[in-house]
Amino acid sequence: MADDSLPLTGAWHEAVVCVSDLDRWVGALQQLFGWQVELRGPVDARLLRAWGLSAAARGEEVVLLDPDDAPRRVRLLRLHGVAQVQARSSAAHWDTGGIFSLLVNVRDVEATFREAQALGWSAYHDPVEMHFSGRVLRNVVLRAWDGVNFGLYRAQWPPPPESRYAKAGNAFNGQQSVRDMGAARAFYRDGLGWTPWFDGELRLDCNNLGMPANLVGHNPMNVIIAAASRDAQGAWHYGQVELVEWVDFRGLDLAARAVPPNLGILALRIPVADAAGHAAALVARGLPLFTAPARVELAPHGEVWLFGVRSPDGAIIEFYQRVSACPTSGDVP
């Protein structure tokens, strides 16, 4: 089990998505989810160097959010001067590696699905009714550009309150398909200190992932939904991860491609109070750093210390601390 000496982090506040066309993506996310542009500008070259990209690499970014559903954001990056492939090109859910999808609560699943189709997006299946943990949900998993997927949800039972979103809330979960649930559990629970609030076996009762109909529910899935902390009412904070291991059902492993500068859902970012201390603690617990602490500009936060680790399946988890919040001069060793 996790050692209490490692402070629990907060939930992830940013999902970083590397895309091939910023303007096309911004227009689509504004239309489908009603997200607003918070800022647009260059990607700090120091971040690209920290990721190990060449001096020729440069980039532009756009941050989008629903301001009524803070603090989570989606940060779109368009990189230039580097060769790229889609990290999860043509991939099914049972193809492991990286981050499969971002989950989003929407006001109307069917209407959003139709709008996405009009943009040229597809889905793994038309909207379905899903049963999970005593709840009934309407769900569709959209296939967008660049190997990016969005799982859309709307509660059906128990009867939900009127949606507070004009179209959609911010992304709240980063779903990952994993090779070995034991290794994934150890990374998130014992390494990062997150708590699995669901850890068990599920069998699909709906065909939301495009399987042959006669195989739906045939093979179980091991599923963990993990979060870092609870709110004052005891509910788990959004900014979670969902890990899925298909039992005896295997595809390709794409973890090696789930790195910058490749296209797709690239990373989840978590604010911490002490970047240097947190990096040292994770290393002490056996998690090698993917990127060492580096000082970069991360708008709208200003200068931050940022570092990252990778899960056993290649999902990048980055941590950042505002330099102005550093207890010292900000010179993290």
pLDDT value, residue 37: 98
Please say if the pLDDT value at position 4 is more than 50: no
Please say if the pLDDT value at position 314 is more than 80: yes
Across residues 136-159, what is the average pLDDT? 97
Supply the mean pLDDT for the chain.
Answer: 92
What kind and span of H or E run contains 223?
strand 221-227
Q: CA 196, CA 179: separation in Å to the nearest integer?
A: 18
Please say if the pLDDT value at position 17 is more than 70: yes
Across residues 20-49, what is the average pLDDT? 98
Give the predicted TM-score (pTM) of the model: 0.94
pLDDT value, residue 107: 96
CA atoms within 13 A on the CB side of 296: 22
pLDDT digits (tens, 9 = 90+) for 171-217: 999 999 999 999 999 999 999 999 899 999 999 899 999 988 888 88
Q: Which amino acid is at 114?
A: R
pLDDT value, residue 324: 76
Please say if the pLDDT value at position 326 is more than 60: no
Q: CA 122, CA 264: separation in Å to the nearest integer?
A: 16
pLDDT digits (tens, 9 = 90+) for 290-300: 999 999 999 99
Please say if the pLDDT value at position 332 is more than 80: no
Going from the C-alpha of 98 to that of each of 114, 295, 313, the distances in angstroms are: 28, 25, 6
Across residues 9-33, what is the average pLDDT? 95
Higher pLDDT: 331 or 319? It is 319
pLDDT band for position 18 (50/70/90)?
very high
pLDDT value, residue 133: 84
Q: CA 56, CA 48: separation in Å to the nearest integer?
A: 10
Across residues 24-31, what is the average pLDDT? 98
Q: What is the DSSP secondary structure assignment for residue 170, as one 8-state letter?
A: -
Please say if the pLDDT value at position 3 is more than 50: no
pLDDT band for position 124 (50/70/90)?
very high
Domains parsed from the chain with CATH numbers = 14-83+258-325 (3.10.180.10), 101-255 (3.10.180.10)
The residue assigned the tokens 């980039």 is 59
Helix extents (H) in the chain: 22-33, 45-50, 109-118, 181-185, 275-284
pLDDT digits (tens, 9 = 90+) for 242-300: 999 999 988 999 999 999 999 999 999 999 999 999 999 999 999 999 999 999 999 99
Please say if the pLDDT value at position 88 is more than 70: yes
Q: CA 305, CA 223: separation in Å to the nearest integer?
A: 33
pLDDT band for position 325 (50/70/90)?
low
Going from the C-alpha of 331 to that of each of 89, 188, 274, 301, 324, the distances in angstroms are: 40, 28, 12, 17, 11
